[in-house]
Amino acid sequence: MQLTVLSLFPDLIEQVIDASITGRARAAGLFRLKTIQIRDFAVNRYGKVDDACYGGGTGMLMMAEPVYQAWLAARAETPDQPVRTIFLSPRGQLFSQEKAQELAASTRPLVFLCGHYEGIDQRVLDEIVDEELSIGDYVLTGGELAACVVIDALLRLVPGVLPDEDAYTRESHMDGLLEYPQYTRPAVWHDRHVPDVLLSGHQAKIERWQASQAALETLRRRPDLARKRPLSEAEWADLLTIRREEQKQGEKP
């Protein structure tokens, strides 16, 4: 997988991606990351990449030509393959686990464009950008943090980045549900007990409990997700059974 990030602050990208799991995956050659400094393509020797907005406004706007030349440099990295260019923008499609899966499966090199100031001249966006992505309904000072979020999420799905497939296939959002509660030693902490079923050694019952708890967590915390991913009759039956058992044991309804 080839990833390229166009940015005014490429060191920020490098520092985040080179940390922890993604850093080890990069060192192992599981993906290639190149960052390109847009300022290297400034319109003058002083590094100018922005100018005042036509029509007025309080901030500066990144100019089209430096961004375009940086993009041409990214495209030159893989001359035999068309790139897929993604602009990180608060007006873009909301990023999701489903989109992360799609990007992780992409056969085209991915180019991430990070804006700053008031944004980027619309003309170059129209020229080079395939899609816009947002990580939430809020505004950041630049696109770098958003790019890191998207890259981290998709890299976790690349084979070999995590130790095994279960490390991500049973997590929140992978099946449209949130993840079930998890516990580790000791079995009792501050008078709080690990659910008995997890100590039973009965794998079928454990998996049933986990599935039911995932459904319950989703209904409790994110009913919007539950509406998108309706529960089957079997899941509802298991959920009701588990809840009755919990109530008998005196747990909170």
In this structure, are 105 and 200 located in the same domain? no
In this structure, are 57 and 96 located in the same domain? yes
In this structure, are 190 and 123 located in the same domain? no
In this structure, are 22 and 147 located in the same domain? yes
In 3-state terms the chain splits into helix, strand, coil percentages (rounded to 5) of 45, 20, 40
User: For the ranges 33-47, 177-191, 224-238, which has the lowest average pLDDT?
Assistant: 224-238
In this structure, are 142 and 240 located in the same domain? no
User: Distance (Å, rounded) from C-alpha 174 to C-alpha 101?
Assistant: 9
Domain region containing 123: 2-155
Higher pLDDT, 243 or 106: 106
- 13 is written with which tokens? 């990208």
In this structure, are 89 and 199 located in the same domain? no
The CATH number of the domain holding residue 145 is 3.40.1280.10
In this structure, are 200 and 132 located in the same domain? no
Give tens-digit pLDDT for 34-77: 999 999 999 998 999 999 999 988 899 999 999 999 999 999 99
- Of 85, 120, 155, the position where a domain reaches its end is 155
Flag whether 166 is in a domain. Answer: no
